[in-house]
Chains A and B, each alone.
Chain A
Amino acid sequence: MRNLTHLKIHEKGIIKGFTDETLSVKLMEMGCLPGTEVSLELIAPLGDPIAIEVAGYQLSLRKTEASSILLEEA
């Protein structure tokens, strides 16, 4: 399944769902809702964490957290 960590830098994707329910409510509060467009904006020099553009602002999250966000197949 394609998830957020599979995006290349500046690539866009649409959120489809989540693999971790507890984490998903936090992510949704932050505007990561199913159907929302996200784009990968920054990758920290050591590959982790990453930052995405979502709902008009930048959100940083660790890779383990990002991998729980599933994307629509491109």
Chain B
Amino acid sequence: MSAKKNLKIALVGNPNSGKTTLFNLLTGLNQRTGNFPGVTVDKKSGTMKLPNGKQAELIDLPGTYSIYPKTLDEQIVQEVLLDKDHDQHPDTIIVVADASNLKRNLLLFTQIRDLNIPMVLVLNMMDVADRRQLNIDLRGLSIDLGVKIIPTNSHSGAGVEALKNILSQPLIHSKKPFYQVKSLAEKTIEDIKTEFNLDEDYRAYQYAQQNVRLKFLEETERQKIEEIKKENGFYDVPTQSQETLGRYALISDIVDRNIKNSSESGKPTLSQRIDRVTTHKVFGYLIFISLLMLIFQAIFAWAEGPMDIIEGALASFSNWVKGALPEGVINDLITDGIIAGLAGVLVFIPQIAILFGFISLLEESGYMSRAVFLMDRVMRNFGLNGKSVVPLVSGMACAIPAIMATRNIDSWKDRLITIFVTPFMSCSARLPVYTLLIALVVPDHYVLGIFNLKGLVLAALYLLGFFAAILSAWAMKFILKTKTRGYFIMELPGYKIPQWKNVGLTIFEKSKTFVVEAGKVIIAISILLWVLASYGFSDKFNNAGTYVKEQLPPNTTDAEYDIAINAYKLEHSIIGSFGKFIEPAIEPLGYDWKIGIALITSFAAREVFVGTMSTIYSIGADEEDELTIREKLSKEINPKTGLPMYTMAVGFSLMVFYAFAMQCMSTVAVVYRETKGWKWPIIQVVYMTAVAYLSALVTYQIFT
């Protein structure tokens, strides 16, 4: 930390006021996403250089319509502004308001202004205001509101330089509150001001209104406020009601005085005409489903090329390291533990980038809120919310970006349910497992002459995942209790042309967050799995060479010998012992210890199942193709029955297990990151494994 502290500036404003675009303009790539301690709210901050040469730290506070929070995100705004000792408490505030919709935007402005923090008001989206033929008297408005005003157009960047100039000068603002809150509760305000040594009436009044919510107050302080309120007959909601009415009365006067509307009203705007199509009962759903299909296809298909490149590059890197470093434990740890883990992290970047590219486009354009509007009624039946649709469908490609996409669900309960059920959707990593098993046990048979039975089974597995997600969501609706009441009061912003810079920054930010935060967990698990698979305590593991030599016929080649040793070592490693240890538990599902080992290793990722099976069945790395594994598996004999091991019952049981089980460390890591703790990922793993186990058990019993 430098001795001289940087100027701290906070951006505050309504959602859809162009606040984030302005933030991007001011900071460019000098921004980072962290989180506020103890809560699941992203903290976007960045640095900017002011014209006077000084550095300023800019923080983009979550969008809110008022200082009274409805969601966790909004509560942060209130905490940061009310708590003078908060480490993010700003020295200066930029309030961003949508100039084309000033009345509603000014409510938040007047509340913040009465906290007496130096501030400047930015009237953004001046272009939209011009198009609506609103003539704004900026001078008059500035005098009436008692604040400096900078008009901007964050689309073109106009006004941004002027804003920077203003910020490098000391801001003078009127000390006189905009709204005399004292008339509502004089005694309460006075008492709290004395008790907490506060200067501003409105700050004291907010202590009274929000005492239960303000985390920075001690329990005794909250109690004290409660007593003061009781003594003076202060009731939260009716007083807030009066305050809002009072503020709007003043705002209305000022807006009417300074803004003249010269357009003839009554003609539907372009946005309204677009809405007639996008929320139409036929075209609306058609457009929405087509967009979802496009996104799904893109994550599924477009990501494949870049993913192959990343995997290939890391594989060559791993080989190079293997050759460059002396053989031994360190070499194996780096290549099979760390680089393998790194590959498991980086390989998801294309999918994350594509999904967030689309989501950002949908949000920027204003379409997202229409999709939510269309889907809310349907999703509500299952304890979900209109905003859950995009994550759920994206989950069919990959749960990682999908879970990250739940960020824009305001209601914590709805968001948690969405995070919880998304991994049930059949993701692309299940496909290699499904195709191997389907090829193994499902006969080539046509149903009704046109439907291939193999295809039908695959479709059934996708449906199974979908229904598991929906039913779990429905059940959670009743189990989860929340203190906060959920609202669906949502602005439908006017349509806008998306800005590529914002889309690009979103993609960059989301990918970076995933790599940095989920990456740590993924690499740690990868190293753990490597240790478990590379070490063993028994004599058989340590002297694998001698044992294998005894078993093999004398004419085996070196390559065959190496493969056999790998299989033998895996069998007698710690993971191998685990596999044998859990055999009694998985026997009712039709599995043996070999499958047990694959179940454990494939916790890294589902597709690892295929790789592990080929190691166990001693299939060389070069021939690790599906056909060889399939041949080996189909020849496997169950020692107890003397019949083939991989019957239809075992195959189906395994498929069902993989349809439901979590079996993906990256998802666990991302749930940890998104819920800020281990509670939910652990519950989720236990629940999904239990569902998988029971369903596989039932499946096996039915088919045998």
Contact = CB atoms under 8 A, between A and B. Distances in A.
A72 to B, nearest CB: 17
B279 A44 contact: yes
Interface in B309-338: none
B285 A28 contact: no
Interface string B273-294: 0010001110011000000000
Interface in B241-259: 241, 244-245, 248
Contact of A45 (B104, B281, B485, B494): B281
Interface in B473-500: 485, 487-494
B279 A22 contact: no
Nearest to A27: B489
Interface string B360-391: 00000000010001101110000000000000
B376 A57 contact: no
Query: Chain A: interface residue count, which band?
Result: 20 to 34
Q: Is the interface of B mostly helix, strand, loop or mixed?
A: helix
Contacts, number: 103
Contact of A28 (B101, B103, B241): B241
A55 B68 contact: no
B380 to A, nearest CB: 8
A29 interface: yes
Given A28-B245, A28-B248, A59 B373 contact: no
B70 interface: yes
B377 A47 contact: yes
A15 interface: no
Given A25-B241, A62-B376, A42 B487 contact: no
Interface in B69-112: 70, 100-101, 103-104, 107
B279 A42 contact: yes
Q: Is the interface of A mostly helix, strand, loop or mixed?
A: mixed
Contacts of B241: 21, 24-25, 28
Nearest to A45: B281
Contacts of B53: none
Contacts of A22: 237, 485
Contacts of B240: 25
A30 B65 contact: yes
Interface string A39-74: 001101111110100011111111001000000000
A59 B489 contact: yes
Contact of B68 (A25, A27, A46): A25
Nearest to B485: A22
A42 B373 contact: yes
A62 B493 CA distance: 17
B238 interface: yes
A45 B244 CA distance: 34
B699 interface: no
Interface centre among B285, B369, B376 (most CB of A within 10 A): B376
A14 interface: no
A57 B101 contact: yes
Nearest to A34: B245
B490 A31 contact: no
Nearest to B239: A25
A45 B373 CA distance: 9
A59 B490 CA distance: 6
Contact of A56 (B101, B374, B378): B101
B249 to A, nearest CB: 9
B104 A55 contact: yes
A60 B369 contact: yes
A25 B240 CA distance: 7
A27 B244 CA distance: 10
A33 B244 CA distance: 9
Contacts of B376: 44, 48-49, 62
Interface in B516-536: none
B638 interface: no
B66 interface: yes
B244 A31 contact: no
B255 to A, nearest CB: 10
B226 to A, nearest CB: 19
A57 B491 contact: yes
Contacts of A46: 377-378
B701 interface: no
B232 interface: no
Contacts of A51: 275, 279, 373, 492
A31 B281 contact: no
A6 B489 CA distance: 18
A2 B66 CA distance: 29
B68 A59 contact: no
A41 B370 CA distance: 13
B272 interface: yes
A46 B374 CA distance: 8
B262 to A, nearest CB: 14
A42 B370 CA distance: 11
A58 to B, nearest CB: 4
A45 B284 contact: yes
Contact of A59 (B377, B378, B491, B494): B491
Contacts of B485: 22
Contacts of B487: 23, 26, 65
A23 B490 CA distance: 13
Contacts of B248: 28, 31, 33
Contact of B374 (A31, A44, A58, A61): A44
Given A28-B245, A31-B104, A58 B491 contact: yes
A2 B488 CA distance: 21
Interface of B: 65-66, 68, 70, 100-101, 103-104, 107, 237-238, 240-241, 244-245, 248, 271-272, 275, 279-281, 284-285, 369, 373-374, 376-378, 485, 487-494
8 contacts: A29-B66, A29-B107, A30-B489, A34-B245, A44-B373, A45-B285, A49-B373, A60-B488
Which 5 residue pairs across A and B have the least CB separation, nearest first? Answer: A45-B281, A58-B492, A46-B377, A31-B104, A29-B66
Given A28-B248, A33-B245, A62-B376, 18 more contacts: A21-B238, A25-B241, A29-B68, A30-B489, A31-B248, A33-B248, A41-B272, A41-B275, A46-B377, A48-B376, A49-B373, A55-B101, A56-B103, A56-B104, A57-B493, A58-B491, A58-B493, A60-B373
